[in-house]
Each structure stands twice: as structure tokens, then as C-alpha cells.
Amino acid sequence: MPLTNKLKAVLFDMDGVLLDSEKYICQAGIEMFKEKGFNIVPNDFLPFTGMGENRYLGGVAEKYNIPFVVEKDKARTYEIYAGLVNGKLKPLDGVIEFIEKCLNKKLKIAVASSADLIKVKINLKEIGIPEKTFNTIVSGLDIKNKKPAPDIFLEAAKRVGTSAPYCLVIEDAISGVTAGKAAGAKVLALTTTFDSHDLKEADWITDNLSTANDEVLDW
């Protein structure tokens, strides 16, 4: 064990890590497409999970040749989403305690979510975690290449004053795990969305942040 930890920062994905809003954004997407006259089912969104709403919605539209105006249709989806989640979201098990551990260890912390900033803000407000808790928030609007490209984690590391090899990425999606490893970070994967077999590229795998062992913050 080194005398001083190499770890400098923890980069949190949002959905499936800090909270579980997947069913609500899925339902919002279904309702948005229904307004267009198309019946979509939840499994249609699964291949695009963790890639940001442009791809989450756009991938389904592309699959079924549905006319899709990104900004307009995304805005309508967020409008539906905000109504659906009002008073219904809460932090996942262990989130508050894990963040406190990070802060006690003087680690920098960031949200690195492929979602648009409006969704990040809605979610943090709903689960009662102030935005200022984090040193920075990087959203899907801040980077060109979305997960599984490493760009979002490289940018988050840069913003907190370090580089990816000194960061722990916490993810729940296959694309996010791939992005974290491609960035050169260590990755803790949570099985909130995918099975452990699908997340085997990660350095550690656990059910949620309450079951993460101390090793993930001690290297």
C-alpha cells in the first residue's frame, strides 16, 4: 500500500448511481413518441442507456424511422419528465454516506452525466443534494463525443484539477464503464441497471454505494 493515495477525485455518473430515474425518462420518452403517434416500449431504449438523451431518444427514433427534431422533442420529453419525477426521486442506497466519505478524505467530486444539464439539475433538486456539493458538473452538452467515448471523464478530471488516472469513475451502464476505462480511470460499476457480467470491464462491481468496499477509495 502506498504511503499516500493516488486517488484525487471521484467522478459520479448520475442515473443509476446517485438515483434511479431511468423508468421516468423512459416513460417520458414513451409519452413524447406517443404524442407523435408511435407506440414505443421500454426495451427499445435499453441499447442507448447512458449515452445522453440525444442518443437515448434519437436512437429509438432512428430505429423506427420516426421524425425527430432534437431540441424540440428533447425539450418536450424533459417537460413530461419534470412532471413525472416531482416528489418521487430519492438518493440510491449509500449515496449520501459515500459522498461524505469522499469529502472527509478531501477528494474532489464531480457529476459526469451524459444527460443535459436541465435533467441533472432537476434530479439533484429532487434528491436533495445541492449542486454546490460537487466541485463541478459536466453534462452531455459540454462534450462532443458521448459515452462510450472517454471525453466526459477527461473533461471532469480536468475541471477538478487532475487527470483521469487519478480518478475513480462510478458508473452503472456498459457505455459508461467503457468510457471510464478508456479515459484511464479506475471504475466502480453498480449493478443497478445491468448485470455484473455485462460490467466485467470495471475494476470493482457492487450492488450500490452502500455495499462498496473501502478499497475503492483507498488506492
Q: Is the pLDDT of residue 98 over 80?
A: yes
Q: Is the pLDDT of residue 2 over 60?
A: no
Looking at the chain, the whole-number percentage of residues with pLDDT higher than 90 is: 94
Cell for 137? 458538473
Alpha-carbon span 114 to 143, nearest angstrom: 9
Closest CA to 46 of 36, 37, 59: 59
Grid cell 477525485 is found at 9
Closest CA to 78 of 119, 50, 125: 119
Please compute the mean of the pLDDT values over residues 179-191 and round it to a whole number: 98
pLDDT of residue 149: 96
- Render pLDDT for 44-84 as a digit per residue (tens, 0 to 9): 999 998 788 999 999 999 999 999 999 999 999 999 999 99
pLDDT of residue 201: 98
Instruction: Please state, rounded to an integer, the average pLDDT across all residues of the chain.
Output: 95
Q: Which sequence positions are flagged as catalytic?
A: 13, 15
pLDDT of residue 5: 81
Q: Is the pLDDT of residue 3 over 60?
A: no
